[in-house]
Amino acid sequence: MSDQRLDIEEIGSVTVARFLDKKILDEANIATIGKEMIGLVEDDGRTQVILDFSLVEYLSSAALGQLITMDKRVKAAGGTCILCNIQKDILDVFKITQLHKVLTLATDLDDALGRF
């Protein structure tokens, strides 16, 4: 079985990274996801990135930290990082922590693609 935590798809100049885990909880998984996300920017030079949460039912605050780090890296490279397809329970977590004002959120993939 592959250890890959992200499914990567190219749509034009935009990279769509879809989380494959339903629950982003385990410390080791979160670290792996962080490395894969950062690798998109720093190893592959991708700066137009959509993170697709359609499969994700739960994430911990440690995972939020990885998203903030990813957003910073993309912005530092002059790019844009957009999160989409976030289920309501998880969207509540973003709102409670006010991260919906720091990160760029879109309702679905079409909405996200339309912002580039």
Beta strands in 12-91 (DSSP E): 14-19, 23-24, 48-52, 58-59, 80-84
When the beta carbons of 8 and 91 are compared against other proteins, the nearer one is 91
Binding to other proteins by residue 115, rule CB under 8 A?
no
Residue from 55, 60, 77, 113 in contact with other proteins (CB under 8 A): 60
Task: Tell me how many degrees the CA angle 43-44-45 measures, rounded to the nearest 5.
Answer: 100
Report the candidate in 99, 86, 4 with the shortest Cα–Cα distance to residue 52: 86
Helix, strand, coil share of the chain (percent; to 5): 40, 25, 35
Q: Which stretch binds other proteins (CB under 8 A): 2-10, 23-31, 41-49, 77-85?
A: 23-31
| Residues 106, 17: Cα–Cα separation, whole Å | 14
Binding segment (CB under 8 A) for other proteins, from list 13-21, 44-52, 77-85, 92-100: 92-100
The verdict on 26 binding other proteins (CB under 8 A) reads yes
User: Considering the rule CB under 8 A, would residue 116 count as an interface residue with other proteins?
Assistant: no
Residue numbers of the site for other proteins (CB under 8 A)? 25-27, 58, 60-62, 64-66, 68-69, 72, 89, 92-93, 95-102, 105
